[in-house]
Amino acid sequence: MGLLGQGFRLGALGIGATVAMFAGLTATEAAAQEGATTPCTSHVTDWSVCVAQEPKECWAVTTYKESVNTKEGRVVAVRRGDILFMVFFRPDAGVKGQIGFTGGYPFAPNSTVSMDIDGTKFELFTEGEWAWPASASDDAKIVAALKRGSSAVMTARSARGTKTEDTFSLLGFTAAYDEAEKRCS
Residue range 28-55, pLDDT digits in tens: 333 333 333 457 877 778 999 999 988 8
Q: What CATH architecture is 3-183?
A: Sandwich (2.60)
Q: How far apart are CA 29 and CA 37, in angstroms?
A: 9
Give which of 95, 126, 122 is closest to 109, Cα–Cα.
126
Domain regions of the chain by residue span: 3-183
Peptide bond preceding 55 in cis form (omega within 30 of 0): yes
Confidence of residue 150 (pLDDT cuts 50, 70, 90): very high
Q: So what's the pLDDT on residue 11?
A: 44
Confidence of residue 102 (pLDDT cuts 50, 70, 90): very high
Nearest 5°: phi and psi at 158?
A: -80, 165
Confidence of residue 145 (pLDDT cuts 50, 70, 90): very high
Confidence of residue 121 (pLDDT cuts 50, 70, 90): very high
Please state, rounded to an integer, the average pLDDT across all residues of the chain: 83
Q: So what's the pLDDT on residue 17?
A: 45
3-class DSSP string for the chain: CCHHHHHHHHHCCCHHHHHHHHHCHHHHHHHHHCCCCCCEEEEECCEEEEEECCCCEEEEEEECCEEEEEECCEECCCCCCCCEEEEEEEHHHCEEEEEEEECCCCECCCCEEEEEECCEEEEEEEECCEEECCCHHHHHHHHHHHHHCCEEEEEEEECCCCEEEEEEECCCHHHHHHHHHHHCC
Give 65 or 24, the one with higher predicted confidence: 65
Give 63 or 3, the one with higher predicted confidence: 63
Q: So what's the pLDDT on residue 38?
A: 53
Please report, rounded to a whole number, the percentage of residues in the chain having pLDDT higher than 90: 74
| Contacts of residue 54, Cβ cutoff 8 Å, sequence gap at least 6 | none
Q: So what's the pLDDT on residue 120?
A: 97
| Contacts of residue 73, Cβ cutoff 8 Å, sequence gap at least 6 | none
**Structural Rg of the chain based on CA atoms:** 16
